[in-house]
Amino acid sequence: MRIARWVRTGEGEAPAAEPVEGFVVGDRVVPFAEGESVARILAGGLDAAHAAFARIDGARGTSASDVRLLAPLVPASVRDFVAFEEHVEGVSAGVEGKSFVAPEWYQAPTFYFTNPHTILGPGDTLRPPVTERLDFELEVAVVVGGEPGVNLDAEGAASRIFGYTIMNDWSARDLQGREMKVRLGPAKGKDFGTALGPWIVTADELAPFVDADGFLAVRAEVRVNGDLIGEDLVSNMGWPFPELVAYASRNSRVVAGDVLGSGTVGNGGCLGELWGRNGGLVPPPLRTGDEVRMTVEGIGELVGLVGEPVEAPDLPPARPRPRARQRS
């Protein structure tokens, strides 16, 4: 099953004020039965999805060519991991001058939280900050469903994986680099946009791609303006997805609607990796008008466009302070 959100853009019709939510069936989109929503179905898990799909049996819906797809959910939260060793090797070469993977990387699947309020959908135009090093990041993300989980083991975490979508973690590498020198971040280097889509493919659909060790062995590719930049198997992750979900739940909670990104695939899953390996900005950073097209086997295609940058108001640097301990 493929679950999506959309607005109608058919000839002579204004886009709907509210998104429509439902299933993608072949070349058509079919709304859920009355009262259903993506959020409710995620909370109910795969059983709820199958029941909802049964209720739309026979409905014709609308041609997919007459709608504009949106991000397939409004995330409860977005965690982004860094689960590909090859990506870490390449990016570290660009940042530190040599390929290096910290011993701590191997100990646990590290992640950061990114902004759930700047989510973009398929075909959306990114309005980046002013940056000289705009980049994409090709990822696969899991969407959590079912009951909340705390301190899950891998088996319990696997039961919370509702489905998968493609994730583009847009990045301003120059902003990110400055922030991370302060031993914090990324913040504004990532804060401005994360794309999800084109839909959620339920976990049972991709079960044939899960290998004997539990890794999702699907092929992922990214093209800029039609040129192939990177390609990898998602099974090259250091940890399978259930272990990412389990780690996220450690001394915490995962809930329906949480999105967990795999981190950037290796072998050119982002420009930053290639800059490190090539010793310079080759291929060049993204510019206004560029098209980034990500394709993941079994899921689909996510396209993003680069729009004009948005200049933000200036803020002053930190002021020297006397470190006084009492008011004068």
Do residues 144 and 207 share a domain?
A: yes
Judge whether 322 lies within some domain.
Answer: no
Judge whether 327 lies within some domain.
Answer: no
- pLDDT at residue number 17: 61
Beta bridge partners of 222: 230, 294
Neighbours of 136 (CB within 10 A): 27
- pLDDT at residue number 11: 46
H-only helix segments in 56-111: 85-96
pLDDT digits (tens, 9 = 90+) for 193-237: 999 999 999 999 999 999 999 999 999 999 999 999 999 999 999
- pLDDT at residue number 93: 85
CA distance 225 to 210: 31
Do residues 298 and 210 share a domain?
A: yes
CA distance 226 to 251: 44
| Percent over 70 (pLDDT), the chain | 98
pLDDT digits (tens, 9 = 90+) for 126-167: 999 999 999 999 999 999 999 999 999 999 999 999 999 999
Count: domains in the chain: 2
Do residues 169 and 26 share a domain?
A: no
Q: Is the pLDDT of residue 14 over 60?
A: no
328 Cα distance to chain centroid: 51
Residue 29 structural domain: 2-69
- pLDDT at residue number 259: 99
Residue 129, both tokens: 């900050």
What is the model's pTM? 0.96
For residues 242 and 157, the answer to whether their CB atoms sit within 8 Å is: yes
